[in-house]
Structure 1
């Protein structure tokens, strides 16, 4: 008898669980259908789930446990900017609008009834109407808080609890909803918030060290090594200078075309540069010395060796 009662109780519990699962599926189907209808009305595309958005957004309302899924994603272009609307399972509905440039300055504007940010890299700036602003750069955030920002903080719907920046995106968070009017209002206020944040300084990517071989890189020796083209031109100049010095040391002899006759008695032409060989000692005849012939006595006028008359066809040997 007892076992039968337990068996009946188990059947009832199982049936109840099945009914709850069916009701939840029906509710999700209705919500999914409503979100898809709203996406079509906005000209957005629809996707049942997404696994990448959890890696893109991590701050504020997106700081949730890993088991929380991203569902009912509607994405497209809104007022000239990319926009995404999605749900975090049993947590919140998120609206995100992409800015033109990323910024390292974080601005977190949330309702005063919402808990302060869990991140430790932001500080409290002050209150603007019913909302409070936090930032990691208070000096820049003060410049953002002009009259338009104060007007937005006062006019934004209460259900849009948090608005914050993250990279190139501005996001807004509100309780789970599929109401078309609330989705439209949240999308509009987040888009206006993104417009007011155009004054944020853009992020500056770190630059790699210049390649010394890059012909378009810096030429300052303090900033980069000597470039390849400069080294090549330097070697060419050195080679040209060496060639000029070699030409100076050993200049080429003038040719017959320049009017120089090597067989002339007194050759005319440009002087030969460079070191000249030591002069040979003059022949006895040129030095004024007369050599006596064999078997003859020297006289007062001296002796001269008889020889043939000078030739008219060959120059005299001046060596």
Structure 2
């Protein structure tokens, strides 16, 4: 004797209700993230866009290449201060096959990096088809770059120390084009993203320090203050020299 048809109907109905419940919960979570990101952008005076399909196309490495970003959603665009000055920033969720696998934070430098470099946590399954060459461990991360000699010039101990401070929820940080980027878990809220922005700003200052021409006067020393009684400067050749008035007591 087979299973009655009504039992299959009940099973199908329960599965449908469960699926709809999960979908509703997922949409509620996405809506909450959207509103939270929008409020954060408004408080900072930054711009917010719900979706931008072209933004992730600027990059191909790091989390963008690993997850295969279809679009950027909940996008925040603004600028932040670092020790070297103000730098433009992006914060956005990667959307891949309808899911949000990570949040990307990007800080812009003033010049394009000659060598793309990726710094992955060893606990992350970072392998992908077009993975750059692995250079080896740097602190708590592994470095990858196609130009090993050039990358070793960029990867200073200062950069390694700064990358170690990013945290265990940052799967990868990377340098690509004129940007310093990192991906963090999708549950990261505004306070965590603020800290990550500061950390990436520090890395941007390390790999792209502002030079004197860019920020004239910032690194200039103050002009020396003349010391009372100091000898006057020697006049240029051909300039008449004014003699001090004679002392009457010395006159005949």
TM-score w.r.t. the length of structure 2 is 0.69
Per-residue CA deviation, residues 91-133 of structure 1 (Å, 9 max, x unaligned), is 1111111111213311222223234553657333343321222
- 1:163: which partner in 2? 173
Report the 3-state secondary structure (helix = DSSP H, G, I; strand = E; otherwise coil) of the residue aligned with 1:158: coil
TM-score w.r.t. the length of structure 1 is 0.56
Q: What is the CA RMSD across the aligned residues, in angstroms?
A: 2.5
Distance (whole Å) between structure 2 residues aligned to residue 4 and residue 161 of structure 1: 49
2:117 corresponds to 1:107 = yes
User: Aligned residue pairs: how many?
Assistant: 199
Shift of residue 61, structure 1, vs aligned partner = 0.9
Per-residue CA deviation, residues 63-83 of structure 1 (Å, 9 max, x unaligned), is 156574422111111221111
Report the 3-state secondary structure (helix = DSSP H, G, I; strand = E; otherwise coil) of the residue aligned with 2:100: coil
In structure 2, which of residues 84, 88, 92 is the aligned counterpart of residue 82 of structure 1? 88
Distance (whole Å) between structure 2 residues aligned to residue 112 and residue 126 of structure 1: 10
Q: Tell me, which stretches of 5 or more residues in structure 1 are unaligned?
A: 200-319
- 1:29: which partner in 2? 31
Distance (whole Å) between structure 2 residues aligned to residue 4 and residue 116 of structure 1: 48
Shift of residue 87, structure 1, vs aligned partner = 1.1
2:193 corresponds to 1:183 = yes
Distance (whole Å) between structure 2 residues aligned to residue 30 and residue 116 of structure 1: 29
Instruction: Return 170-179 or 114-123, whichever deviates more.
Output: 114-123
Moved over 6 A (4+): none
Distance (whole Å) between structure 2 residues aligned to residue 74 and residue 18 of structure 1: 30
Higher relative contact order (CA 8 A, sep 6+): 2
When you count strand as a share of all residues, which structure comes out higher? 2
- 1:193: which partner in 2? 203
Kindly report which structure 2 residues correspond to 1:1-319, keeping only aligned pairs within 5 A, or say none: 2-64=4-66, 68-79=70-81, 80-88=86-94, 89-116=99-126, 118=128, 122-198=132-208
Per-residue CA deviation, residues 237-261 of structure 1 (Å, 9 max, x unaligned), is xxxxxxxxxxxxxxxxxxxxxxxxx
Larger Rg: 1
